[in-house]
Chains A and B, each alone.
Chain A
């Protein structure tokens, strides 16, 4: 008897959640195996979701029917659009999150889904038959027959926490690490490496002199992440606070550099350059007299305060003394000190663009074990891995997003083609199609595609279609409206293209837009403003995009092409890119060799 196809998700962090959710919506049976069913959807580091680049990812996850955007809207306690001075394509939403409410809301979503089963346990091994996954094996010896396993282990694989000179095995503070699964994976021929990341100390709220800290509010009328969130959106606007480090703080840290786990060489893994520890910042930006620190409440009415900007692996007493050099923190007490964590990751050139491993059918990797940093990056990968694991068991076409379609596409393509030496963070600069991949048009870009893949609900598709109709009607309306500027007549459409002009700055435009939502007005206006630039961008990237259409057979023998440089030949043979486009983005492959390969592939086909 053939039962409902099953996939196993190992881990229930942000990657595991989206993987489970997407797969369950497609219709397979999903078994989430997590070491502690009370520790799902934790925000282990900062109490915020979104931010530059990351906000785009959240919008895309939402456009594809994911959970993160909705959860952030419901559990958000302050919303702010960043980068407002730098052009609408790079505007990005960030929300401060109630860390208690978030896991609660997400658990409810998962538990109430008829296809999802949450199991407490630890995947430590798996069986394969003919290089295809058949069984997940748990620590207690139980076995689950499955078509696929999506590994979303975060920082848990052989995790080691460092606080100054002290170190001990842990997956997260207060939680056991996962030991065994790495061994099984490596036994199947995978290569493994180590990375590290860190988190700042948590302060006791009562010990902070709040009068000496500056207030930092969110936006007054923010837009939510999710299209499913009801309008008008009127979230809370609970303030954060800003304090500055000073010379005394820097000196104290500098004097104790040798005690930092990272600087003393105790950690072998590479740390994130873009989310550097405070000791890192002081060494690297020596000329700066001061760094801003954000004091963020971790939940509503929280007595636990997160010190954004002060990630560190110094001994606890050094951290405390350093912070006490800041007037507002003169009498500060810790709830717990900052720490660094070191964990296993698997270099991502071992993955296909579906996040399935090239080596074993039905084995998928998503999240931090792929060398990324951040909840949003993890969730994006989870969604793609989960969707593809389910689609493959059902016999459908792979669900892959191109670099021109989504930041998620850029993220995954970067992972599988670039060498990752430090945790990968999503940046808008990684997207060559940045002007068309805006936050506000994520749904227009992706929702229909997600619906066809089975991961978006009918309800969401209808909302999106309504929105898209509004935007096209508005744009058409602007084309028809004539207006006078300095004696010359031109359409509102042309006028809007000028800087500082908008639909509602114009009397006629105001009348036209009266019946439309402010979201639709914003998107229509931005579409019009960016149209010309997007066309140029497309022409530019189009030259390169053709290469993505040229497939390289997986059996292609690069050694046959003696004209390739030996370095390129070696890289290409190991990584086996799926398309010429991927090959052209591989680190260590010369452009001239891509030219040779292009001529060869095109002429021999």
Chain B
């Protein structure tokens, strides 16, 4: 990470390309002179001024814009900032950026605006990560959860748990600090029951956070079955039915294909696999390995078979399975059997039913996270640390039940506090800083 150099930086804040308007952001130490150079007027704080934008050196008029000046520290970065809404189109944008660079600014690096905001105490690490999540956000719902992080709600909830652990620790420490002669000891049972309550709170967040991954990284649905069982047709039918396609990319191995749809506000990734029965040559084995790894990562499996999916051994699956009888247009006579969705990709029979099943699953995901008041860990870093924190409380609980000294229980609780401090970024760690901010795109 480069030192915080306090140079004036500029970047386009809206996506590149053609639009009605584009927004440019400038951040720096003291921007009043620069504002005057650009607009030939004096800035009013937090006032959107309609004005002509001039080249700072030649004075040439580049565009008619709305310019807003934010005075430090009341801005996104905590520095002086100028936001310029100019006309859309690459030519105009590029001319204006070039002029601003001529005026002494430089282009911002990815995440640099957020980095400066963090450095200036405008946001904590969770909020910074939320900005990154929001930018990468694939769906409506993830945006909503990201925003809860941004207003600091999740940090507050964690800090509240932390302060409860500190209170409990204070009781233990007090007893360690004074001899049996001086003060009476609290019973281990009471300490255990307090730890149990706290662990429940952390459990709730951990549980919600397994959904957090689904909310931010998407629900992964794998289509699985014998070759020629109609998986690919079903894949296409599902995509064709739902018009909210996000993307469609071929898998890195020749045999899986991914595509995104949005259901109930969640991003859903459909994965078409090679299936498990192909054998023989080397390339097919590669395909099987890929399928296995997709199943390991998946949240939901669509088990497709044209005869009877209930006969296929799916005991080893650790995830929910929806059984699908395919090609039902060919043989209409087969009797209905319980729990099997009958579909025909050709006639669209049952496709709507299947989408309803998937939507129900997605609704459960969002409901469960909503029940947990949105304290959802959105990144792998946060989830890993919170998992550690949960394990630490379980360990403390175990220690209270064994005849282990309270010195050790206290040490374990201290470890919990460090985990929480780590999640919210109270412990400086340059690696975290780099990973968090490098995930940003330019202009944020």
Residues in chain A within 8 A of chain B (CB atoms): 51-53, 82-83, 85-90, 274, 292, 294, 427-429, 432, 434-435, 499-500, 530, 533, 536-537, 540, 543-544, 547, 562-563, 565, 580, 584, 590-600, 602-604
Contacts and interface: CB of A to CB of B under 8 A. Distances in A.
A583 to B, nearest CB: 10
A70 B367 CA distance: 68
B414 A292 contact: no
Interface in B154-177: 173, 175-177
Contacts of B177: 52-53, 274, 427-429
B176 A86 contact: yes
Contacts of B418: 540, 543-544
Nearest to B178: A52
Interface stretch (B52-60, B103-111, B285-293, B402-410): B402-410
A603 B115 CA distance: 14
Contact of A599 (B185, B403, B428): B428
B332 interface: no
Contacts of B404: 87, 499
A86 B433 contact: no
Contacts of B180: 82-83, 85
A533 B408 contact: yes
Interface of B: 1-4, 6, 29, 78, 116, 118-121, 124, 173, 175-182, 185, 402-408, 410-412, 414-415, 418, 421-422, 425-430, 433
A543 B406 contact: no
Contacts of B433: 595, 599
B406 to A, nearest CB: 5
B86 to A, nearest CB: 29
B426 A591 contact: yes
A563 B4 contact: yes
Contact of A565 (B121, B407, B422): B121
A540 B425 contact: no
Nearest to A82: B179
Given A543-B418, A595-B428, A600 B405 contact: no
B408 A435 contact: yes
Task: Name A's interface SS.
Answer: helix
A547 B428 contact: yes
A251 B233 CA distance: 90
Closest 8 CB pairs of A and B: A87-B405, A87-B407, A598-B428, A429-B173, A591-B426, A499-B403, A603-B3, A82-B179
18 contacts: A52-B178, A53-B177, A86-B175, A86-B176, A89-B408, A90-B176, A427-B173, A428-B177, A434-B407, A435-B408, A530-B408, A533-B411, A543-B422, A544-B418, A544-B427, A592-B121, A595-B433, A599-B1
B176 A500 contact: no
Contacts of A427: 173, 177
A306 to B, nearest CB: 15
A393 to B, nearest CB: 38
A540 B414 contact: yes
A599 B405 contact: no
Contacts of B173: 427, 429
A432 B414 contact: yes
A596 B430 contact: no
A88 B116 CA distance: 48
Nearest to B116: A563
Given A83-B176, A540-B415, A599 B402 contact: no
Contacts of A82: 179-181
Contact of B425 (A292, A584, A595, A600): A595
A591 B421 contact: yes
A435 B421 CA distance: 21
Given A52-B178, A428-B177, A591-B421, A90 B427 contact: no
B407 A562 contact: no
A537 B411 contact: yes
A543 B407 CA distance: 21
A592 B425 CA distance: 8
Contacts of A595: 118, 425-426, 428, 433
B283 to A, nearest CB: 45
A536 B78 contact: no
A339 to B, nearest CB: 23
B8 to A, nearest CB: 14
Given A565-B121, A595-B428, A602-B430, A86 B407 contact: yes
A87 B406 contact: yes
Contact of B179 (A51, A429, A602): A51
Nearest to A592: B121
Contacts of B428: 547, 580, 584, 594-595, 597-599
B414 A89 contact: no
Nearest to A88: B405
B181 to A, nearest CB: 7
Given A536-B415, A540-B414, A90 B405 contact: yes
Given A83-B176, A543-B429, A599-B1, 4 more contacts: A428-B407, A543-B418, A595-B428, A599-B3
Given A52-B178, A599-B433, A90 B422 contact: no
Q: Which of B124, B182, B405, B427 has the most CB of A within 10 A?
A: B405
Contacts of B116: 563
Given A537-B411, A595-B425, A86 B121 contact: no
A86 B403 CA distance: 10
Contact of B124 (A51, A500, A543, A592): A592
Nearest to A94: B179
Nearest to A584: B428
A429 B176 contact: yes
A202 B62 CA distance: 91
A565 B181 CA distance: 45
B199 to A, nearest CB: 18
B438 to A, nearest CB: 14
Contacts of A86: 175-176, 405-407
Nearest to A536: B415
Contacts of A602: 1, 430
